Amino acid sequence: MKVRETVERIKHSAQIYFEEKGYEATTLREIAKRVGINAASLYYYYPSKEDLFIDLLKDSQAYQNQAIQKLASENDAGTTEEKLNLFYTGIVKIHIENQSLCRFLLRNVFFPPVQLKDRLKSESISWMEACIPQLKKLFIEGIETGVIRDIPMAQLIHSFIAFQIGYILYWTNLELAPSDIEIQHTWNFYWGGIQKS
């Protein structure tokens, strides 16, 4: 087995265990067994469970952030409402389409391993932070063109993110995916709250 392939198999197995059992209850021995290598061999790739966990978390966040950056870069046409709607819908779909990754990330955002809490704060950049530049741009555009009420920027950003997190948590917990119509209904509700009448 090649090194890169082994590392990917280790990460895949670790994500399953960390998602299902949590950091504390997962052992390197069970990850190694699932991969088909002995525990001593796993230490060649990762000196500790903490290193494996942090590497997996960084990979997951990088995937998420790249998808959001791609979404933001492709979102320049249309009205402010259309651009915000596409951004909202796109982020929801990124998370819903990869619920395993989403559960892993959400579990560790809301219930981080106690012994890693400080390290996670210093090393992680969440998808929420990746959204902020695009959201600011779109909200400023909406306020300046008179389609969004003049609400403080922090409130606009926090409400957008909180609305999405709640919706993503709801569907991820059910292990189902909403229809495009259901996503559009939530968007309409959110837009109605910030739209200038």
Q: pLDDT value at position 124?
A: 59
Q: What pTM did the predictor assign?
A: 0.81
Domain spans of the chain? 1-47, 59-194
Q: pLDDT value at position 1?
A: 59
DSSP code, position 114: G
* 3.40.50.300, 1.10.357.10, 3.40.50.10490, 3.40.640.10: CATH of 59-194: 1.10.357.10
Q: What is the pLDDT of residues 24-67, one digit of tens each?
A: 999 999 999 999 999 899 999 999 999 999 898 888 888 888 88
Q: What is the pLDDT of residues 57-113, one digit of tens each?
A: 888 888 888 888 888 888 788 999 999 999 999 989 988 888 888 888 878 777 888
- Report the CATH superfamily, name and number, of domain 1-47: Homeodomain-like (1.10.10.60)
Q: pLDDT value at position 125?
A: 59
- Looking from the CA of 142 toward its CB, the CA atoms found within 13 Å total 28
- Looking from the CA of 167 toward its CB, the CA atoms found within 13 Å total 26
Q: What is the pLDDT of residues 109-142, one digit of tens each?
A: 778 888 888 877 766 556 677 788 989 999 999 9
How far is Cα 27 from Cα 12, in angstroms, rounded to an integer? 14
